Amino acid sequence: MPAGRVVAAHGRHFHVESPEGVVECVMRGKKGGIACGDRVEYQFTQGGGVIERVAARDNLLHRSDEMRSKLIAANVDIAVVVTAAVPCFREELLIRCLVACETADIPALILLNKTDLPETAALAEYLAAYAALGYDLLAVSARGDLAALEARLRGRTSVLVGGSGMGKSTLLNRLVPDAHAATGEISESLDAGRHTTTHARMYRLPGGGHLIDSPGMQEFGLQHLDAATLMAAFPEIRERVGQCRFYNCRHLKEPGCAVREAAETGTMLPARYKVYQSLLGQLSSAP
């Protein structure tokens, strides 16, 4: 059977790039799901093809809520989590994206966009705490010099993720000049960007490598995680393993908790501890 890679995912319709060209395919039956970046085998049909098999994945970035799971990208080398001070810095969304990357074993790059705006300086200073945790951090302007970002992406398969209005489409148009992605306008009344990307799509980078653009999001559900996996996804919690009074400490209200003490003293960012508490509560209350 011919083999190729999924370069666009539209619901149950997929574009597969192979030596035969780009073939529009559908999925056989209703089993499983297919993500942009998947390696697949397919059969030709009249007017297109049918995907018969999905190869084993190196990794999979996805989000989930109580109702369903949303596949974002598969077989990627790096996730570029785009954030900005304008229209609004959403730290919880950033944290959730980073947790998803940690659990999927995908290196994450926090990309602080819009350095041309005066509001960005304070956020850049705040995000230095994330760099201290070991996260790769890069500040750019989508309208300025992107050489440092291009060097990180060259020869690799990357995925752009982040909230609406962070400038992902503008970044894409600079990195892939023929992408012609709609940049849209920021809706000031909603304090959020309009969704301009409706499905995941992979582009070839001029300097080598591939870039997957994913739809902007307002939330990043993590209902597929369990408590142990969640704890391991926070570097501040991992480094304090064994320091709590109780070996099975959940880092909530237990006495002698090293993680809670770190949050109270400011050693752990209070926002990150709050998101951890919220996520653990959601997992505990899940049916």
Rounded to whole angstroms, how far apart are CA atoms 250 and 236? 14
Q: Which two tokens stand for residue 225?
A: 């995680």
pLDDT value, residue 30: 62
Q: What is the CA angle 131-133-137, rounded to 5?
A: 20
pLDDT value, residue 196: 45
* Count of Cβ atoms closer than 10 Å to residue 67 Cβ: 7
Residues 6+ apart with CB under 8 A from 43: 1, 2, 49, 50, 52
Rounded to whole angstroms, how far apart are CA atoms 77 and 69? 21
pLDDT value, residue 186: 28
pLDDT value, residue 195: 39
Helix (H) or strand (E) segment spanning residue 70: strand 69-74
Helix (H) or strand (E) segment spanning residue 80: strand 78-83
pLDDT value, residue 145: 96
Taking a C-beta distance cutoff of 8 angstroms, is the pair 229, 240 a contact? no
CATH top class, domain 227-285: mainly alpha
Residues 6+ apart with CB under 8 A from 11: 199
pLDDT value, residue 194: 42
Domain ranges of the chain: 3-54, 60-213, 227-285
* Count of Cβ atoms closer than 10 Å to residue 207 Cβ: 11
Nearest to residue 268, comparing CAs of 245, 247, 222, 237?
Answer: 237
Q: What is the CA angle 73-75-78, rounded to 5?
A: 80
CATH topology of domain 3-54: OB fold (Dihydrolipoamide Acetyltransferase, E2P) (2.40.50)
pTM value is 0.90
- Three-class DSSP category at 120: helix
In order along the chain (287 residues), what is the average pLDDT of each group of 10 residues?
A: 92 88 85 88 91 95 82 97 96 96 97 97 98 97 96 97 91 88 34 52 95 86 92 96 95 96 94 96 71
pLDDT value, residue 283: 84
CA 192 to chain centroid? 18
Neighbouring C-alpha atoms within 13 Å toward the C-beta of 13: 7
CA 151 to chain centroid? 20
CB contact burial 102-141 (16+ within 10 A = b; e otherwise): bbbebebbbbbbbbeeeebeebeeebeebeeeebebbbbb
- On the question of a cis peptide bond just before residue 287, with omega within 30 degrees of 0, the verdict is no
Q: 60-213: which CATH architecture?
A: 3-Layer(aba) Sandwich (3.40)
